[in-house]
Chains A and B, each alone.
Chain A
Amino acid sequence: MQRLVHSVFLLTLFLVAGIATVASAQEGGALAGVAAGSSADYFHNLIGVVTGNWQEYGQLFTFLQGEWFWKIFLAIITVVPTVFFLHYMIIGAKHFDHDGPQIYFFSLYARIVHFVAAISFSLLVVTGLMIIFGSFLGGGSLIRLARYTHLVSAIVFALPCVMMFMMWLKDMLPQLHDIKWMFILGGYLSKKKVPVPAAKFNAGQKMYFWFAIFGGGVMAFTGYIIWGMGADIETVRLLTIIHNVLGMGIVAFYLTHVYMSVFAIAGSLESIKTGYKPKEEVDILHSLHKYE
């Protein structure tokens, strides 16, 4: 029964993604018709031929990119770390007994795939932010290099992205206890070591997984079109807006993942390097994990 529910859930996800892609592609193919009429109509048609319906997305893009995108990104990269810093100072990191029994949690294959993904994804985030804040860095060859690195990292990231999807799909499917995890925010609001409802991956990791995989897919598609201007101008404008807005969410999740793995759980960075997690940590933070 559970297997069936999983399949239906997945199928729906794929269908929604597919329909969205086809719809945007059809929108892109439409060209403004040129009809004769009054001189006002003539000028309206002319501007449509020159540069599409500027009022629709051009104006919106100009407003968002000129006024808001960099401010929102600045807020994300300052507010999110500040919140985590306060969490670290007030509640502090979770410490587990690293000398006790260890559990083999991540296979060598998983660790290599994750390592490649981590490097390329970090480069994507850093170079993306460098482009957004290019004016503070003076532009020129440094930011041009950031653009090229952004493209290469995206191509590299695509491979571990697909591998992680296949490798962790089963463990990343949403389950009922994830709702309970969300309500207590994974137990990170207190120092008490109470077993948290999570199997191999907790709800936070699952959210990051789905955001990175599907968000990554959308980012790859929109980025590819933006890089080569591979659609008519109106579609490119819309896709650029999507690329930036989705980027905000991804940067926020990225910062969260970095804080959790490097600071919030002392020594947890070791587990993705060696593959072993302390048994105590697994029993508390992944209390529903099934031992093999």
Chain B
Amino acid sequence: MARVKFLCDVDRCIDCSGCVVACKEGNHVPVGVNRRRVITLDQGKPGEKSISVSCMHCADAPCIAVCPVDAIYQRADGIVLVNKKTCIGCGYCFMACPFGAPQFPKGNVFGARGAMDKCTFCAGGPEEDFSAEEKHLYGQNRIAEGKVPLCAGMCATKALLAGDADIVADVYRERVFQRGSGVNAWGWSKAYKE
């Protein structure tokens, strides 16, 4: 299978936060954890821009490099996943991540962080596909069902693209060509530089 990527077109994102709500609701993400969020700069001023940010599923992911217990791994299609049963909640992945993707629910002992939670590209986790355990720990496994991630599927303006990297790039290139403005898909130079 080809490599999958996210792309958020900042010229289309209107800060509706539909992606955030879709992700949180569809995956039953714990309180205090946001796998995806929308950030707006220069709000109310000319040139205001918004972008939807989550785990970028980087090519050379820093989180995998720093994890002391090897709880994070990358699938052949590029999706980066965490094994919540191995994770110790140390927070190193959060320190290493350039996108602030890893999130931590409050644990029970001494205010310790619980196991890390982040965007799964709606591909579940290391548990058996469609098992109750997978759904409970990681949310839906839409990739195994042949669907795009919830956030991208829900995006009203189709600013958020997700899927096969070549197709995503083609769609974006076409848009940029038609608009005649806006280059450099946000985060790509950082996440997929290789």
Contacts and interface: CB of A to CB of B under 8 A. Distances in A.
B65 interface: yes
Interface string A212-241: 000000000000001111000100110010
Given A147-B112, A226-B91, A51 B51 contact: no
B99 A61 contact: no
Contacts of B90: 131, 147
B49 A51 contact: no
Contacts of A191: none
B182 interface: yes
A131 B68 contact: yes
Contacts of A46: 39, 41, 51, 186
A61 B69 CA distance: 17
Given A46-B186, A50-B39, A62-B66, A240 B88 contact: no
Contact of A65 (B70, B85, B92, B109): B92
A148 interface: yes
Nearest to B111: A228
Interface string B38-68: 0101100101010101000000001001111
A66 B62 contact: yes
A36 B49 CA distance: 11
Given A58-B96, A229-B91, A139 B186 contact: no
A143 interface: yes
Contacts of B97: 51, 58
Interface residues of A, number: 44
B69 A140 contact: yes
Given A36-B45, A49-B41, A147 B89 contact: yes
B99 A134 contact: no
A207 interface: no
A221 to B, nearest CB: 17
B66 A148 contact: no
B68 A134 contact: yes
Contacts of B85: 140
Contacts of A26: none
Interface residues of B, number: 42
Nearest to B92: A65
A240 B95 CA distance: 9
B69 to A, nearest CB: 3
A43 interface: yes
Contacts of B187: 47
Interface string B92-132: 10111111100000000111110000000000000000000
A146 B68 CA distance: 13
A237 B183 CA distance: 32
A138 interface: yes
A144 interface: yes
A233 B184 CA distance: 26
A129 to B, nearest CB: 11
Given A36-B42, A39-B184, A51 B98 contact: yes
A45 interface: yes
Contact of B86 (A39, A49, A138, A152): A138
B98 A54 contact: yes
Contacts of A233: 94-95, 100
A51 B87 CA distance: 22
B190 interface: yes
Interface in A122-137: 131-135, 137
Contacts of B86: 138-140
A10 interface: no
A70 B67 CA distance: 11
Contacts of B45: 36
B9 to A, nearest CB: 13
Interface of A: 34, 36, 39-40, 42-43, 45-47, 49-51, 54, 58, 61-62, 65-67, 70, 131-135, 137-140, 143-144, 146-148, 151-152, 226-229, 233, 236-237, 240
8 contacts: A42-B49, A46-B39, A65-B65, A134-B88, A144-B88, A148-B110, A151-B110, A226-B91
